[in-house]
């Protein structure tokens, strides 16, 4: 009798355990659709495109033999390398500048009271505005016949339209930089503001009790703890800027050879023949971002290995 009860109990226990295990697997199943989606479309798509760029058999060289890597060989020239440098340079500049300005702004906002709420709303405005229109908005004000040059004229700072500096379609990509900053500074603020708020409330009193001023607290406590998050945000900006088309297409001068613009030009203008070139250009961009990312991840792993835990 008691034995039977025990067995029943055991069965019950076994059943419960099984249910719990099953539930935990069922929970894990939830990842599958999204994971398969990403594997199939993102990784599969990239891989498929890569194959398209390599195995385009219809491109046969004069000698009659297939040249699988012709697209990549064609890219091996100084002008393309220069484009790479320009694209990476502008993306890095955008990432670092908006990272720093965004961080300072977020700290500023976090130390202000509710009376400054309206400033938050202003800083969130550009989030909802697409890059295409951001580019246009800035062209509107920064070009030589734009609104700012009119204001400058009105105040008597300039007499002629030509005296206003060339900021749109300029050689140095200043217009591109400005337009990206307009979009990405608010993005960084949006991303790190809640964390800064929490870090300040967590650490300000403690650091002050040890005699530290607010700026020391920011430099020695808040920024180091925020670092992984902040650098991650800058990486997102870097990757996005590296691959984005709209802003350089609208603001950059034709001599400013941004890779996404050139790639899309090849892709949309010259038909299937030139598609491998467009893909190859994008492959280069993806690889660069991957390399930068791997470096960052390696640095963070190294950091953790030495025992630091931040979050």
Query: Judged by CB under 8 A, does residue 149 bind another protein?
Result: yes
In sequence order, what are the beta bridge partners of 66? Answer: 60
**Candidate ranges 5-13, 57-65, 74-82, 131-139; the one touching another protein (CB under 8 A):** 131-139
Burial string for 131-156 (b: 16+ CB within 10 Å, else e) reads beebbbebbeebbbebeebeebeeee
Please classify residue 245 by burial: count the beta carbons closer than 10 Å to its beta carbon, then call 0-12 exposed, 13-18 middle and 19+ buried.
middle
Q: How far is the CB of 283 from another protein (least distance, A)?
A: 6
In whole angstroms, give the CA distance from residue 101 to residue 128.
19
Query: Judged by CB under 8 A, does residue 252 bind another protein?
Result: no
Query: Judged by CB under 8 A, does residue 283 bind another protein?
Result: yes
Among 137, 174, 229, 231, interactor with another protein by CB under 8 A: 137
Site for another protein, residues 75 to 94, rule: CB under 8 A = none
Query: Judged by CB under 8 A, does residue 261 bind another protein?
Result: no
In whole angstroms, give the CA distance from residue 107 to residue 119.
13
Query: Judged by CB under 8 A, does residue 229 bind another protein?
Result: no
Q: How far is the CB of 73 from another protein (least distance, A)?
A: 18
Structure tokens at 240: 């996005």
Among 2, 145, 255, 269, interactor with another protein by CB under 8 A: 145
* Residue 275 neighbours by CB distance under 10 Å: 18
Q: Which residue has the tokens 């140095």?
A: 172
Three-state SS at 232? helix
Query: Judged by CB under 8 A, does residue 274 bind another protein?
Result: no
Among 1, 3, 4, 28, interactor with another protein by CB under 8 A: 28
Q: Which is nearer to another protein, 12 or 119 (CB)?
A: 119
Site for another protein, residues 160 to 199, rule: CB under 8 A = 161, 181-182, 185-186
Structure tokens at 36: 């398969």
In whole angstroms, give the CA distance from residue 78 to residue 151.
42
Q: How far is the CB of 211 from another protein (least distance, A)?
A: 5
Q: Which is nearer to another protein, 64 or 156 (CB)?
A: 156
In sequence order, what are the beta bridge partners of 60? Answer: 66
């Amino acid at each position: 009798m008691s034995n039977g009860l025990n067995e029943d109990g055991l069965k019950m226990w076994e059943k419960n355990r099984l249910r719990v295990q099953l539930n935990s697997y069922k929970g894990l199943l939830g990842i599958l659709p999204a994971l398969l989606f990403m594997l199939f479309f993102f990784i599969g798509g990239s891989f498929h495109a890569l194959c398209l760029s390599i195995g385009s058999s219809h491109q046969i060289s004069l000698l009659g033999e297939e040249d699988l890597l012709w697209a990549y060989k064609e890219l091996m020239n100084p002008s393309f390398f220069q484009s790479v440098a320009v694209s990476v340079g502008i993306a890095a500049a955008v990432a670092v500048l908006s990272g720093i300005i965004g961080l300072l702004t977020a700290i500023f906002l976090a130390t202000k009271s509710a009376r400054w709420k309206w400033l938050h709303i202003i800083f969130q405005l550009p989030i909802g505005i697409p890059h295409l229109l951001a580019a246009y908005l800035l062209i509107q004000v920064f070009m030589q016949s734009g609104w700012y040059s009119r204001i400058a004229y009105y105040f008597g700072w300039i007499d002629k339209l030509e005296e206003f500096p060339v900021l749109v379609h300029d050689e140095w990509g200043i217009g591109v930089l400005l337009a990206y900053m307009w979009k990405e500074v608010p993005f960084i603020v949006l991303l790190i503001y809640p964390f800064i708020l929490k870090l300040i409330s967590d650490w300000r009193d403690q650091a002050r009790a040890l005699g530290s001023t607010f700026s020391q607290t920011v430099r020695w406590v808040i920024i180091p703890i925020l670092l992984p998050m902040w650098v991650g945000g800058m990486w997102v900006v870097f990757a996005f800027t590296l691959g984005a088309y709209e802003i350089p297409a609208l603001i950059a001068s034709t001599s400013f050879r941004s890779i996404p613009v050139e790639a899309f030009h090849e892709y949309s203008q010259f038909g299937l023949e030139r598609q491998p070139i467009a893909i190859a250009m994008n492959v280069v961009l993806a690889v660069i971002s991957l390399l930068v990312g791997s470096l960052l991840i390696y640095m963070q792993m190294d950091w953790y290995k030495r025992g630091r835990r931040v979050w």
